[in-house]
Amino acid sequence: MQLAHLQALQPLCAICLGQGAQNRIALSRRDLGDDEQVLQGLLQCPVCGMEYPIIDGIPILLPKLREWVQGSLFHLVKRHDLSHSLDSLLGDCSGPDGAWESTRATLSCYGWDHWGEYMDGQDSACPPGAVRSLSKTLTEMRPCQTGPLIDVGCGPGGSTHSFALAHPERLVVGVDMNFSLLQAGHRILAGQGELPLRQEGVVHHWHAVRRPETAPNLALWCADARLLPFASGSFGGASSLNVVDSVDNPLQHIQELARVLDHGASAWLSSPFDWSTRATHVAQWLGAHSQRGDHGGDSRKVFLGMLKRGVLPFQLHAESQGEWRLRTGARSHTRYQVWLAALEKGEQIAVAETGV
C-alpha cells in the first residue's frame, strides 16, 4: 500500500460505516515497508479501535473481517515459491474440488482475460482483453468528471490498469474480495507475475507475465462491493464490470456505487445478468423471474424501470452491448453478451425496492 494513496483516499472504518458513521482510519503499525509503502502492517480506527491488516501491500478493509479471514486463510498463507512440478503434484493430490484447484482455475480464467495480452502465446478461440475492451467502450460512452476513480470487482486488476493508463492524472483504486486475484495483480504490476493456464482437468501450464506499463496512480485494495470504505462523494467515476449478478445483494451494491460518487459523476456498468443462487438469492435478483409482470423477467427492463421510478440515483446516459469471453480450458471458453450502461449520478427520489 502506497502511503500517498492512503493519504489521498482517506479510507473509512468499515465497522463504523456500517453503523452510519464515517470515521477515517490511520496507519497504526508498519512491520515491513519503507517511507513510501507498507507491505505488512495495521490500520486502525481511532473511534471503535477496529484493526485492519495490510498483507503483501494490500489493505484489507472489510466489515466482517474475522469471518472473511476464516474463509480466506488458504489464500492468505498460500506459498508462491513452489516449483511447477510440486504445484502439479499438489493439484493432483488435492483433486478437482479442493481449494488448490479452484484457486488455480480462477487465476487461469480471470488472469487470462485481464493480463493475457502480456503473456507469451495466444488463444485464437478466446483472445484476452475483453474486460479491458469493455472499460474502454464504457468510458467513451460517458467520460468521467474530475476526481479519483474506483473499479469495483477488479479481480486481478487488468481493468484497473486500463483505467489508470487512460487517466494518468487521477488516482484509480481497484477493489475486490478475492485475495488471490488481488495478490496476482500486485505481483504482475511489480514485474513478478506468473499465471497458470488451465488445459483440462487439473492440468495447468504456468506462463510468465511481462511487466505491464507503469501506473503509479493505481492501487489494489481488498474491500466489499456492498460497503465501500470511502467517504460519500469521493469519486468522479466508478465501474462495476460484470459484478451485479455476482454479489448477494446487487441493489445494495449499486446504491453503494452511487453513495461514493460525486454528484454528476459517471458510473459504468456491464452485466450478462447470468444470475445464480450460488451468488445471489432469487429474491435479490433484478429480474430473471416473475415473467408475468410488465418487464417479462427481463433484467435490463427491470433495471431501467428502477431508474425511471427514481429508485436508483442515476440517469441513463447511454447503453450498448458488448462481448465478454472467459477462457476455461485449452479447448473451452464461455462467451457472454453483456449489457453496457453509462450512468450519471443524480438524486434518489423513491424508496429502494426488494424482490423485483
Per-residue exposure over 137-147, b if at least 16 CB sit within 10 Å of its own CB, e if not: bbbebbebbeb
Domains of the chain from N-terminus onward: 1-61 (no CATH), 62-345 (3.40.50.150)
Q: What is the pLDDT of residue 352?
A: 52
Q: Express each pLDDT in 264-307 by its tens digit.
A: 999 999 999 999 999 999 999 999 999 998 899 999 999 999 99
Q: Exposed (0-12), middle (13-18) or buried (19+): which is 65, by Cβ within 10 Å?
A: middle
Which residue type occupies 275? Answer: W
**Dihedral sign from CA coordinates of 108, 109, 115, 117:** positive
Which residues make Cβ contacts (< 8 Å) with residue 71, sequence separation at least 6?
Answer: none
- Percent of the chain at pLDDT above 70? 97
The tens digit of pLDDT for each residue in 124-148 reads 789 999 999 999 999 999 998 889 9
Rounded to 10 degrees, the C-alpha dihedral 213/214/220/225 comes to -50
Longest dimension (CA), the chain: 61
Question: Contact at 8 Å (CB) between 179 and 75?
Answer: yes
Interval 199-227: pLDDT, tens:
999 999 999 999 999 999 999 999 999 99
Q: Which three cell numbers stand for residue 191?
A: 514485474
Gyration radius (Cα) of the chain, Å: 20
| Residue 38: strand pairing partners | 33
CA distance 230 to 309: 27
Task: Using pLDDT thresholds of 50, 70 and 90, give the confidence band for residue 353.
Answer: low
CA–CA separation, 65 vs 85, rounded Å?
Answer: 34
CA-to-CA distance for 199 and 239, rounded, in angstroms?
Answer: 31
pLDDT score of 350: 55
Could you count the other beta carbons within 10 Å of the beta carbon of residue 250? 25
Distance, CA of 141 to CA of 143 (rounded, Å): 7
**Per-residue pLDDT at 132:** 95
Residues 149 and 173 sit within 8 Å (Cβ to Cβ): yes
pLDDT averaged over the chain? Answer: 95
Predicted pLDDT of residue 121? 72
DSSP state of 245: G
C-alpha cell at 228: 465501500
pLDDT digits (tens, 9 = 90+) for 241-251: 999 999 999 99
Quote the crossing angle between the two packed helices 99-115 and 65-77, to the nearest 10°: 80
pLDDT (tens digit per residue) in 163-197 = 999 999 999 999 999 999 999 999 999 999 999 99
DSSP states of 249-287 as a string?
A: -HHHHHHHHHHHEEEEEEEEEEE-----TTTS-GGG-SS
Average pLDDT over residues 305-331: 95
Asked if pLDDT for residue 315 goes beyond 80, the answer is: yes
Q: What pLDDT does 145 receive?
A: 80
Distance of CA 35 to the CA centre of its chain: 28
Please write the tens of the pLDDT for every residue from 57-104.
999 999 999 999 999 999 999 999 999 999 999 999 999 999 999 999
Nearest one of 134, 185, 141 to 161, comparing CA atoms: 185
Q: Cell for 77?
A: 498463507
Q: Distance between CA 349 and CA 346 in Å, rounded?
A: 9
Please check the confidence at residue 122 and state whether its pLDDT lies above 80: no
Cα separation, 192 vs 63, whole angstroms? 31
Q: How confident is the model at residue 347 (pLDDT cuts 50, 70, 90)?
A: confident
pLDDT tens for 28-39 read 999 999 999 999
Selection from 215, 263, 271, 269 nearest residue 238 by Cα: 269
